[in-house]
Chains A and B, each alone.
Chain A
């Protein structure tokens, strides 16, 4: 719930509660006060009325005593009418009746009181021998009668001083009061306000002489009632208790309460309205700034810190807004700093990435779960894709050797690992593995290591070639000397052997001589091959067509047979369009020699009839001549020795071991190269790379 409705509801509820509470308490207090006031009023009214009534009693009594005293000197029967009238008018008594007891005479004197009804004198009687005041009910009329039987008279008379308690009397009795009064017995009306009669009869309490009742209702009127026992009244039935009932309206008090309640209600309503308005004004003073603040905080959430609020005033809201402004400015400032820092970090990060990826060598960081934390492009290219796990990488690029090496570093067995590994593509890599220093891993307890892999395939091949060339050069020099020294005696030996063969008739000796001749010729061949190998100056500058040369070689040896008499495998030549095969810079004879040497090795390696292929290709400025077989292949461990002079895998006497050395030497002469790809059981492919002839190079 929003602030204003909540605040307004709370305050209005409080006011309502307060109004109810105040109204209730005030009503209660007023009612109690009313009750007390009503009690006091009723008591005062009652006392006033009773005192007035009693004063008439005393008055009558005094008159009786006066008559008594008078009678001591004079017979009351002798009172003249004038004297009686004077007595009546001066005392306010309504009538005087003198009854002679013995003689039955009656003297009556009546005052002309309004509404006076003279009682029947026979209804009056005196039972006391002393003055007394009695109340009489005679024929529906109510009288206060003072009675005296004066003493010492010759003729006893009863003197009755009569006061009619009629409406006139009662009106004067209650002069200046607003009470309604009624004289009554338990059953009969005696005098007064008949309206009070029903109520009075309903509430008679004979046990007590004085009763006060408050808050009685009759016909929607509220009133208070006092009932006083005033003695007894004599009537034809005897004596009955006389009650004086005084009734006062409670309406003024009720009106007072109603007025108070109305006032409280009005004030409360007014307070409610004013409070509602003030609450609205007050809450606006809070809700508006709060809404502004909320909106500004929305900007902050969205990262827009450059916001300032209007914050005038020294109130708490103003302090809050100024505080917000300060916070926003600080955030903005920090944001700028952070952005700068991020930019720097990003730049450094990107720079580092570029640097890492620029490194040609493969670089990777591996953790102790063999997960590749970081790797550069060169590393990923080794496996053909980026792998998360070193194990997966190793399976695609290398073999388990890499895993073992990494393990030895991560486990701490070794401080560093250096070695050369060949990948799946036969490339040779120099691998270095180092542990990562812990001080660089402040956020991680994991062990890590750095893998650095340098592709040394070309360098190694080049070094091998250099070594090979140096070896060949050394051997060449040595061979040249040996060939020169051996050639001459060999010529003599061969000549003499031929002469002996010519003259020998013994078959056994002849066979031996022929054997000697064959062997001598073989030595001569070796010498010639060695001369070929050592002579890099022969046929330099030649040009030939690789296609025609290959076809010629094919014709030459296609029909040759193995030592066991079986035919050699078929030889197939593959090329692009015949007319597009360019000439290469090598003499025809040397190229033929190269092809023959390679084809010999291929035939030797191929035990079945798988074809041997000669493939002619072009690559950039060079022609490629590949001789490929599906033979037994060359084991990897000897591949770096195949170009060594005199190195052969053939059985003793089947080859000189100089074939590939010659190929190598000739390629070196023509600034070409030879590349061997072979694997045990998968055949061998030897590719000669010879520069094209460009015409002006001759």
Chain B
């Protein structure tokens, strides 16, 4: 037993002594000559949180991270110029970008790619998101983001339970051109399809405008007075939907499932105006993008074409849990 104890002690000692070696490059300031440009989709807490995660990881790996100006709206015509200008202002090895339009961003990104700049899409994709099969949009190294489809399926199942698994359901989303929200819509529909007595009766596209979402929801409530649940695929959709339901006094009677745990939505959740919020992990997405860029350039590892980050569903039962605070952005 004496020998066993000695081995354990030596192991622990080795761990303690080796920790600096283990953590070398992790948490300590490092420097490499890798330069990354981050182009967010729009100015909102989600992308700000993504930036924070990317910066933290960049500091740990010594990678240089530059953040392009936040677009004021979710519009390729706003994002593309920002992209091109930012790319020309510096010499970058890699661009991590949330394309606001799956088609419009293909050409500009490809042009940059042909200049030797590697591309990683975060949160949203270009094309159909399939970078494995050879296609016009298969040049990015990888796509990193939430599995929107799976998350939406899970969300649908949760809201169905809350709604009593019976009745009519309404979806309010942004634009069909945004890969993420489309996947969420499809995933939600798939999830609802698991409940025979639930039916998605209407889908509206609000163009990522909150007021539009509000009005659309109001109309849906009038058109379908027996609606039991509504799914809003993004922040602005959620806020609009929530406002409409609240205005009609149907909070609680009509369950609302929202996407993205922004502070306003979390507040609404705490106030009972929203019933479910799916919280992505944008910080994790940003960190993964920087980390895989580091691995690609420095360690010369192959980057998987698709990398998914995690999510968590918040409701009244866990929203007040202090551990959930980390998922609010």
Contact = CB atoms under 8 A, between A and B. Distances in A.
A63 to B, nearest CB: 9
Contacts of B251: 231
Contacts of B248: 61, 128, 130-133
Given A51-B164, A65-B225, A134 B252 contact: no
A68 B223 CA distance: 11
Contact of B250 (A57, A207, A208, A210): A57
B226 interface: yes
Contacts of B320: 208
Contacts of A135: 249
A230 B272 contact: yes
Contacts of B253: 54-55, 57-58, 61
B181 to A, nearest CB: 26
Contacts of B254: 58
Nearest to A205: B320
B87 interface: no
Interface in B273-290: 273
A229 interface: yes
Contacts of B221: 61
B: contact size bracket = 20 to 34
B271 interface: yes
B270 to A, nearest CB: 5
A210 B273 CA distance: 11
A436 interface: no
A62 interface: yes
B24 interface: no
A207 to B, nearest CB: 7
Interface string A40-76: 0000000000110111011001101110100000000
B158 interface: no
A50 B249 CA distance: 14
A209 B271 contact: yes
Contacts of B252: 50, 53-54, 57, 230-231
Interface string B88-112: 0000000000000000000000000
Contacts of B222: 65, 68, 130-131
Contacts, number: 68
B144 to A, nearest CB: 34
A228 interface: yes
B128 interface: no
Given A62-B225, A62-B226, A128 B247 contact: yes
Contacts of A55: 253
A230 to B, nearest CB: 7
Contacts of A231: 246, 249, 251-252, 272
A428 B180 CA distance: 146
A208 B272 CA distance: 8
B272 A133 contact: no
Interface in A113-150: 128, 130-135
A132 B249 CA distance: 6
A57 B249 contact: yes
A611 B248 CA distance: 174
Tell which of A58, A64, A209 has the most Cβ of chain B within 10 Å: A209
Contacts of A132: 247-249
A50 B164 CA distance: 12
Nearest to A212: B317
Contacts of A210: 272, 316
A61 B225 contact: yes
B218 A130 contact: yes
Contacts of A229: 271-272
B247 A58 contact: no
A9 B248 CA distance: 74
Contacts of B273: 209
Nearest to B162: A47
Given A62-B226, A65-B222, A131-B222, A209 B250 contact: no
Interface in A153-209: 207-209
Tell which of A50, A128, A130 has the most Cβ of chain B within 10 Å: A130
Interface in B204-234: 218, 221-222, 225-226, 228
Contacts of A57: 249-250, 252-253
Contacts of A228: 272
Contacts of A134: 249
A68 B269 CA distance: 31
A133 B270 contact: no
B270 A209 contact: yes
Contact of A61 (B246, B250, B271, B272): B250
Contact of B316 (A68, A209, A230): A209
Contacts of B218: 130
B87 to A, nearest CB: 45
Nearest to A43: B317
Tell which of A68, A132, A230 has the most Cβ of chain B within 10 Å: A132
Interface string A222-242: 000000111100000000000
B247 A130 contact: yes
Interface in A408-467: none
Nearest to A56: B253
Interface string A6-40: 00000000000000000000000000000000000
A122 to B, nearest CB: 21
A509 to B, nearest CB: 138
A231 to B, nearest CB: 6
Interface in B234-271: 246-254, 269-271
Nearest to A68: B222
A61 B247 CA distance: 12
Interface of A: 50-51, 53-55, 57-58, 61-62, 64-66, 68, 128, 130-135, 207-210, 228-231
Interface of B: 164, 218, 221-222, 225-226, 228, 246-254, 269-273, 316, 319-320
13 contacts: A51-B164, A57-B253, A58-B226, A64-B225, A128-B247, A134-B249, A208-B270, A209-B270, A209-B271, A210-B272, A230-B272, A231-B251, A231-B272
Which are the 9 A-B pairs with shortest beta-carbon distances? A209-B272, A133-B249, A54-B253, A65-B225, A57-B253, A210-B316, A62-B225, A209-B271, A208-B270
Given A58-B253, A132-B248, A230-B252, 19 more contacts: A51-B164, A54-B252, A58-B226, A58-B250, A61-B250, A62-B225, A64-B225, A65-B222, A65-B225, A66-B225, A131-B222, A132-B247, A133-B250, A207-B270, A208-B320, A209-B269, A209-B271, A229-B272, A231-B251
